[in-house]
Amino acid sequence: TSFASRSDLNKCFIENAVEIPESYDARETIGECKMKIIDQNKKCASSYATTVASTLSEKMCMESNEKTLRPLSAQELLSCDTANKGCRGGYVNNALEYSVIRGLTTEECLPFTGTMDAKCSDMCAEPMKERAESFCVLFGETDIKREILKSGPIISSMEVYVDFLTYKSGVYSKNEDVPKFSGLHTIKIVGWGVEDGSEEEPNKGNKYWIIENSWGEDWGLNGYAKISAGQNFFFEQYAYSILTKKEAEEMKQNIQRKQKVQED
């Protein structure tokens, strides 16, 4: 998959006043709105679809008064989004734009198969849709962390080295001698932390990111991974935030407020 099909995407406006803690895990704050780990199917390059659908599901739940989680259909992005290539991969921004313009129906209405066997016409007769209001691009570690603190998990992409496939535990560091796959793989960033332990341990104090993968709960740390920070992975510099209607309005007001201060 690929991160973006074009460069003219909206940049997120982030409040500089947000103080970043040493460690943070969004899974501990979103509670009942946390989606289950998806297994995307090894024969289908669908990480862009599963990650967008999962993240939007969580965002809509977090904004709702009832905090009701309604899993949205990743299969719709595979079967209905003609701007991407289904199981042959796609651009994350195209999937996000689909979720803004057309919205996503529920998993119940069009269940995930991780194949191209399911057709868009297989959708239930009266699909309920959830739509993102908009999305924006985050640049750099600081803004990425501030947005996770404020709004929850975000979406990015990463390079995949062969040894990442067999990751089981601990903090992963890429090995430059190990080959990597072409293209990028879409992930969800949920937090960051610092390795603890005794003073004698060489990795004590090593900073890491917490990412959610889409290779099932049997992979890694029940579907998650800790990745050593500062390795120049793509996701350390670029990410997407999905904006709900409330968040988009808040961002608009903050931009207008900043512009007024500059004019004054």
Return all residues near 216 (Cβ < 8 A) that are at least 6 apart: 37, 38, 39, 223
CB 210 within 8 A of CB 226: yes
Residues assigned a catalytic role:
185, 213
| CA–CA distance, 30 with 228 (Å, rounded to integer) | 24
* Residue 260 C-alpha from the chain's centroid: 33
147/124 Cα distance (integer angstroms): 35
The answer to whether 89 and 1 are in contact (CB under 8 A) is yes
Give helix then strand counts, H and E, for the chain. Answer: 6, 8
Kindly state the tokens that stand for 230.
Answer: 């500062």
Of 152, 153, 186, nearest in space to 40 by CA: 186
Beta-bridge partners for 138: 239
Q: Give me the phi and psi of 253, to 5 degrees please.
A: -65, -40
Token pair of 23 as six digits:
């460690």
Spatial distance between the Cα atoms of 144 and 147, rounded to a whole number of angstroms: 5
